[in-house]
Structure 1
């Protein structure tokens, strides 16, 4: 049976990976300074300030921890999706992380923000990718069938 998902899953993996990698780079100031171009945050401090608006019930130290956890998770998800390592789990993680964003964003700033930022699309894309039968051009595919000798 022909695998009709070869190219679409690769494109979806890369698009979703970049979707997670770009905000991480933004909040770390890698993409530019605050207020320039399409920079959303431009610094960790600005990112944490925004995160605090999404989580008004948490104190600042806890918001910092939650922002750090989200950043590490997004970075790992991005890298794993792009290289195709543990793709099914990374894609499922992408869906769950974005679903969490949807909930917090909707409760704190309304439904329009997650719609504007494409968070619903990213969540659905992660779920769809997690259900793909095979991940061509991935480390998963390269390692498939190889047995680790003990």
Structure 2
């Protein structure tokens, strides 16, 4: 179970980081989906046609910021259950936006519902393994024992 949890943490985190790197132009063109921020803004508009154009950059920044932060916290294992749930919610919102704006096939092709389900499953795995949370928990127990 420990290796499965680690695999889920890293898979979700690396997926977020790869997508964020792509929209920031860090992937070579032959591997890129967006390639730059402007293309990502256009895609964000496609997925959110009901949102005013003036808010599209804000949505893109929030989504990218969330993905980068969630990825970092999942990689280091900080509040894993919380950030796994938040990742599941973010991916589910993305999947639903894709479904209602461009159709369900792309959601299935890119396994967005699967990624969301994986994040929610990760949030249910309580045993800690290679997580900062373990160190924090040990420090709190040590402090508690010293104070009593």
Q: TM-score, normalised by structure 1?
A: 0.90
> Which residues of structure 2 form unaligned runs of 5+?
none
| Number of corresponding residues | 143
**1:88 pairs with 75, 81, 87, which one?**
81
1:115 aligns with 2:130: no
Pairing partner for 1:15 from 11, 14, 18: 11
Match of 2:121 in 1: 128
What's the counterpart of residue 51 of structure 1? 44
CA RMSD of aligned residues (A): 1.5
The 4+ residue runs of structure 1 with deviation greater than 3 A are none
Query: In proportion to residue count, which structure has more helix?
Result: 2
Give the match for residue 145 of structure 1.
138
Structure 2 residue corresponding to 1:97, chosen from 86, 90, 113: 90
Q: Deviations over 1:80-125 (max 9, x none)?
A: 1111111111100110000101111000000011111110111000
The answer to whether the 8 Å contact 2:74/2:84 transfers is: yes
Residue 145 of structure 1: how far off its partner (Å): 3.2
Q: How does 1:56-95 map to 2 (within 5 A)?
A: 56-95=49-88
Q: Which ranges in structure 1 are unaligned for 5 or more consecutive residues?
A: none
